[in-house]
Amino acid sequence: MRLLSWNIHKGIGGRDRRYALGRIIDCVEAENPDLICLQEVDRLVHRSRHDDQPRLLSRYFRCHSVFQPNVHVGSGTYGNLVLSRWPVVSRHRISLRQGARKPRGAQLLLVESPEGLLHLVHTHLGLAERERRWQVGRMLGHYLFRSADPHPTLIVGDFNDWRNVLDRDAFAAEGFRQITTPLSRFRTFPAWMPMGALDKAFVRGSVEVRTARVVRTSLAKTASDHLPFVIDFHLGTEQ
């Protein structure tokens, strides 16, 4: 099974500032993922030609679609999108907004994969370190998150965690291990000259990761301001 996670920057290139959703589609299609987790997805926003990106992407990839609008932009919104080849049997949204800061959120999905139920959590955290610590604590302690504890869990997204402090603090304390390591191999931002390992993945339970890698094609470097990463994994038997 394969998952791709990517901050697509609304389909706007990081260097040329050109909106071209087709570049995002081509890059994702080349990786042929079963699960697609995208951050900064626009819906009916002027800067992206008022495209309904969740609808366009779900139709193109013929996937189950779950969109979480977080930020209002004019008459439209942008947020997090999960596309799945497999049925989503449960879906929840958690607000991670702290005070007057930009609204953030997390998607909590139970996906019926060919190897069993997977608890897939998809998020995009804030820019301040204290804010991110609060967001992770709220997410991991939320009763909706806890209700899926019996299932293998995979958490992915843009964590904006330049110093990688969340791994050794909040996630390790809850039994998660980071699979996007060493950081030197998982630098994703900025796409044209990656310096920060901002896009991460954490697992708990019977998630057996075969490979994890950053996509560094010329297309990926131009399509967004982040690079995507891909995880190949299986669901094993909990010992």
Q: Compute the distance between CA of residue 237 and CA of residue 232 in angstroms, rounded to an integer.
A: 17
pLDDT score at 239: 38
pLDDT value at position 116? 97
Separation between Cα atoms, residue 42 and residue 67, nearest integer Å: 10
List the CATH code of the domain at 2-231.
Answer: 3.60.10.10
Q: Do residues 125 and 96 touch, judged by C-beta distance below 8 A?
A: yes
Contact 37, 3 (CB under 8 A): yes
Q: Quick one: pLDDT at residue 169?
A: 83
List average pLDDT for each run of 10 residues in the chain, which is 239 residues long: 98 96 98 98 98 98 97 96 98 95 96 98 97 97 96 98 92 96 97 97 97 98 98 81
Domain boundaries, the chain: 2-231
